[in-house]
Amino acid sequence: MALTKEQIAQRIARELQDGFYVNLGIGIPTLVANYIPEGIDVVLQSENGLLGMGPFPLEGEEDADLINAGKQTITTIPGSSFFDSAVSFGMIRAGKVDLTVLGAMEVSELGDIANWKIPGKMVKGMGGAMDLVASARNIIVAMMHTNPKGQSKLLPACTLPLTGVKCVKKIVSDLAVLDILPEGGFLLRETAPGVSVDEIKQKTAGRLLVADDVKPMEF
Amino acid sequence: MALTKEQIAQRIARELQDGFYVNLGIGIPTLVANYIPEGIDVVLQSENGLLGMGPFPLEGEEDADLINAGKQTITTIPGSSFFDSAVSFGMIRAGKVDLTVLGAMEVSELGDIANWKIPGKMVKGMGGAMDLVASARNIIVAMMHTNPKGQSKLLPACTLPLTGVKCVKKIVSDLAVLDILPEGGFLLRETAPGVSVDEIKQKTAGRLLVADDVKPMEF
Amino acid sequence: MPQIESTMKKVYKDATDAVADINDGAVLMLGGFGLCGIPENCIAALVAKAVKDLTCISNNAGVDDFGIGLMLQQKQVKKMVSSYVGENEEFERQMLSGELEVELIPQGTLATRCMAAGYGMPAIFTPAGIGTEVAAGKEVRNFKGKDYLLEEAFDADFAIVKAWKGDTEGNLIYRATARNFNPMMAMAGKITIAEVEELVPAGSLDPDMIHTPGIFVHRIFEGKNYEKRIEQRTVRKK
Amino acid sequence: MPQIESTMKKVYKDATDAVADINDGAVLMLGGFGLCGIPENCIAALVAKAVKDLTCISNNAGVDDFGIGLMLQQKQVKKMVSSYVGENEEFERQMLSGELEVELIPQGTLATRCMAAGYGMPAIFTPAGIGTEVAAGKEVRNFKGKDYLLEEAFDADFAIVKAWKGDTEGNLIYRATARNFNPMMAMAGKITIAEVEELVPAGSLDPDMIHTPGIFVHRIFEGKNYEKRIEQRTVRKK
């Protein structure tokens, strides 16, 4: 059975390592913060100028000066720091952020990603996504394996305007966990509970390889 | 009679305008701070990271963390700010400093300046001088007109390794105030008390023009 | 050295006074991220002044009835240079009709092109946008095996920023994530106008804790009636 | 989102502990301007460790018996990259004898090449040195009528900085002009070691007032016995 968005977030949270600085994009990636494993300390970076993002504020304690990159009211934690947008993208560009999690419309078997623009639709802008994908040392994409029409979003090459090239290292979709190989290709490592390798093969348009030790996802 | 170093500083101080941000180099330029005219407010920039440099501290009140670019203990004034060296040279490079005063070994009639290196002698380094001369909007050089052997230091072209090219706008020497013309040449504007135009002509190796309204210096 | 008491003449009465010489066709930088840390007073004054054909460099374009959205409603903006322009119907209408020119720039590139201007650097290199349509027509250069785009510093006539506290010398302190683009823009403006929630005498702020040194700020005034609207009010229960 | 209590494992016992893996041939950045804001404890530990063939990127080279001068006395430095190396006889002797390689760089270029590394920018443009021997062999590029040199970001193995206060997350606050090169170097190190006069628990420092966010700092310890020697004691009479 395909994962829920919450479950995708939960599975991604297992990739967190103690001491990681992590940037979580809008949407499913934001949910990852809800599943940080016991004993793992991570610091969340918000690219609008905060390290050490805390939970949403209690009702009545919202602070208009304190928001995240999704413009939501948030809080700080002990050890937080504020800085300007240039420093924020400086730390991103210099590879100081250990892990970036973001959503995608399409990912190619080379690790290209498209997630900002659909021709013919109102374009809202790339925000910080292009900076993040161009510089992050480690990018995990959280996405649905197929679009609502059932067409694969894991492609030989992206059809939509790109956000970045050869940058995605791992995908956690509602059906599978896949690595993207340095030489290209989706390597199937884990299947969602009750989802067969065959189903994933069928729903992956790009070149799919199956790991020798492919196994069901654990949470 | 040739000016003393104090008098050179005093004459340069008359170039200060209200609201100026000023960087004063080591040596004679530092003395300019002693002669800031009544009613003129300037803010002194020290390139090691301070705007609003105050006087030397009272005895016993020295602070090892608070020095100027000459490594002297100093103080702050109300409105001072500290910043890092990158911001400091950022404001210099972006032309935010209104006036830079520095010493020179040689200046050419094109406005080139040499003040950091004598071949064959121990080279201590250029410090911030190259950054300052390359970026300052307005540079006044405080210098002796001749070297101890009586040879002119205002030359057709510098003989020493350059600090910067086509940057000096004005010279206040012990003998004269001279502008450097955009097309090249020293334009004599003021003579030191008791110093003749002829003496200045004789002691200026570079092309010298005499202003129609050349006059004795005022202090 | 004598005691130097500087009293720079930077303090303006209000926003109307501070933006008085911003004329049609000006290129403006406007601080803020979303509606957080935006110069509310100056935007209101620019709307009242009805200045037109503005180019606005700002990470976002406000919402329909707040922030830069207020200037869009009055059709004062010729061109927006932003990274994200989501929540604004009038913006969308003007863009689709061709009334409004829009240049979308990666957020880090936007920040760094402001920074470059403030630091007197004519251009910077960034990998953001390599291999995408953002790279079209731009110089690509490889350093140590990685490709970078050459991106030029912005050149704005006025930078308009919002700070929390400021002093009469123009020193600024920002609060929380309302800092965002304000410090780089403050450094980058040929003329920088700062509105602050609290204007204090020189000497009131700790020199170690100043985010923007006064040399970068040409005009400062104490703003009033800050609405500080929240775009996405998200809370948790006790 | 749950409350996240981060307790990063960055706190080291002392300088000896923090520099334990700095080996012969390492490229170091060392903060400070003159003797102001230098990492005294780490320098002492490097002298005790007798590590050799170091490349030191530091604005100055200390004096004969303090600062980097102590490492020079022990002939631990292969190359100095500095803007000004005045007050040091042993330095002069080693340089003239050819034992010590010296690269002199304009101070702003030095600062900005550190900054570039911290911001992930491979190179920057600066007009400093145009038309001088500093420009030899370097690319010159004209932007809007002005010439600039292309200068590459530094690439240091370790950045060693000194701050006033720091917390267990690695956040740093500097004091007065002891800030100088420390913040850029802290951002630039592949491994950044910070010594602080006072180490406090995370949460003790105001998040608005942090000069170096902890993400840039890998190791931190509370230094001891700071001498803070004054190079030019200048005073005025009451």
CB < 8 Å to C171, chain B: 79, 81
Task: State the Cα–Cα distance between residues D128 and A159, nearest whole angstrom.
Answer: 46
> Pick from B58, B82, B135: which is nearest to D179 by CB?
B82
What tokens appear for B59 in the block? 């005895």
Residue C44 included in any domain: yes
* pLDDT value of position D237: 87
* pLDDT value of position D92: 87
Tell me the mean pLDDT per 10 residues along chain D, length 238. Answer: 50 97 98 98 98 98 95 97 89 91 97 98 98 98 98 98 98 98 98 98 97 98 97 92
- For residue A47, indicate whether it is catalytic: yes
For A:128-147, CB contacts with C below 8 A are 128-131, 134-135
pLDDT, one tens digit per residue, over A142-200 is: 999 999 999 999 999 999 999 999 999 999 999 999 999 999 999 999 999 999 999 99
CATH of the domain at D215: 3.40.1080.10
Query: Is residue B12 pLDDT above 90, yes or no?
Result: yes
Between the alpha carbon of residue C149 and those of residues C122, C133, C140, D28, the distances in Å are 14, 12, 5, 29
* pLDDT value of position D111: 98
* pLDDT value of position C8: 52
* pLDDT value of position B47: 97
Task: State the Cα–Cα distance between residues C188 and A20, nearest whole angstrom.
Answer: 34
Angle of helix A85-93 relative to helix C107-118, nearest 10 degrees? 110
- Is C122 in contact with D146 (Cβ distance < 8 A)? yes
Q: What are B171's strand-pairing partners? A: B141, B178
Does ipTM surpass 0.85 in this model?
yes
Query: Is residue B191 pLDDT above 50, yes or no?
Result: yes
User: What does the domain layout of chain A look like in residue ranges?
Assistant: 5-216
Average pLDDT over chain D, rounded to an integer: 95
> Pick from A62, A89, A162: which is nearest to C108 by CB?
A89
CATH of domain B5-216: 3.40.1080.10
* pLDDT value of position D77: 97
pLDDT, one tens digit per residue, over A79-137 is: 999 999 999 999 999 999 999 999 999 999 999 999 999 998 888 999 999 999 999 98
- Is D210 in contact with A82 (Cβ distance < 8 A)? yes
Residue D167 included in any domain: yes
**DSSP class per residue in D137-157:** T--EEEETTEEEEEEEPP--S
| Other C-beta atoms lying within 10 Å of the C-beta of residue D201 | 12
pLDDT, one tens digit per residue, over C41-92 is: 999 999 999 999 999 999 999 999 999 999 999 999 999 999 999 778 889 8
Query: Is residue C3 pLDDT above 80, yes or no?
Result: no
- For residue B219, what pLDDT band results from cuts at 50, 70 and 90? confident
C-alpha distance from B42 to closest chain C C-alpha (Å): 6
Average pLDDT over residues B208-212: 98
SS3 content of chain A, % helix, strand, coil (to 5): 20, 30, 50
> Pick from B53, B79, B94: which is nearest to C118 by CB?
B94
Chains B, A in contact, 3 or more Cβ pairs below 8 Å: no
Query: Is residue C148 pLDDT above 80, yes or no?
Result: yes
List the chains bordering chain C where 3 or more Cβ pairs fall under 8 Å.
Answer: A, B, D
A-C C-beta contacts closer than 8 Å = 177
* pLDDT value of position B196: 97
* CA B201 to chain CA centroid, nearest Å: 22
Q: Is D62 on the interface with B (CB under 8 A)?
A: no
Residue C132 included in any domain: no
- Is B67 in contact with D36 (Cβ distance < 8 A)? yes
Residue C4 included in any domain: no
Write the secondary structure of A67-134 as one string of H (helix), E (strand) and C (coil): ECCCCEECCEEEEEEECCHHHHHHHHHCCCCCEEEEECCEEECCCCEECCCCCCCCCCCCCCHHHHHH
* pLDDT value of position C87: 76
Catalytic site residues of B?
A: 47
B-D C-beta contacts closer than 8 Å = 179
Residue C192 included in any domain: yes
Average pLDDT over chain A, rounded to an integer: 96
pLDDT, one tens digit per residue, over D170-207 is: 999 999 999 999 999 999 999 999 999 999 999 999 99
Query: Is residue B121 pLDDT above 90, yes or no?
Result: no
Average pLDDT over chain C, rounded to an integer: 95
Angle of helix B85-93 relative to helix D107-118, nearest 10 degrees? 110
Average pLDDT over residues C32-46: 98
What domain range includes position C108? 15-121+154-222
Q: Up-side HSE of residue D112: CA atoms within 13 Å toward CB?
A: 31
* pLDDT value of position C4: 36
pLDDT, one tens digit per residue, over A21-58 is: 999 999 999 999 999 999 999 999 999 999 999 999 99
* pLDDT value of position B123: 87
- How many domains would you assign to chain D? 1
